[in-house]
Amino acid sequence: MNQLQGSCLCGGVRYRAALPVSHASHCYCTMCQKQHGAAAGSYANVASAGFAIEQGAHLITDTKPAWLPHA
Ligand SMILES: [Zn+2]
């Protein structure tokens, strides 16, 4: 496996990202807890050159939410 694949919760947006993951982390701030509905938000950083939206790009309205301190 040399890539990751994923989607948003409804499946409208699908993406793929080439490995390797350069950094992975969990954030326990209250904004990430609310956004993910969990005790933490989990994140993985990959090179933008290997990242592609495969489906549903028209559904994305903002890729850098201003309220996320680590976005
Ligand atoms: Zn956070």
Q: What is the pLDDT of residues 16-31, one digit of tens each?
A: 999 999 999 999 999 9
Is residue 65 a part of any domain in this protein? Answer: no
pLDDT at 61 (0 to 100):
84
Whole-number Å distance, alpha carbon 10 to ligand 1 midpoint, is 22
Is residue 22 a part of any domain in this protein? Answer: yes
pLDDT at 21 (0 to 100):
94
Is residue 68 a part of any domain in this protein? Answer: no
**Owning domain of residue 11:** 3-59
pTM: 0.68
Average pLDDT score, the chain: 89
Whole-number Å distance, alpha carbon 49 to ligand 1 midpoint, is 25
Residues around ion ligand 1, judged by CB within 5 A, are: 27, 29, 32
Write b or e for each residue in 14-50: b if 16 or more Cβ atoms lie within 10 A of its Cβ, otherwise e. Answer: ebebeeeeeeeeebeeeebeeeeeeeebeeeebeeee
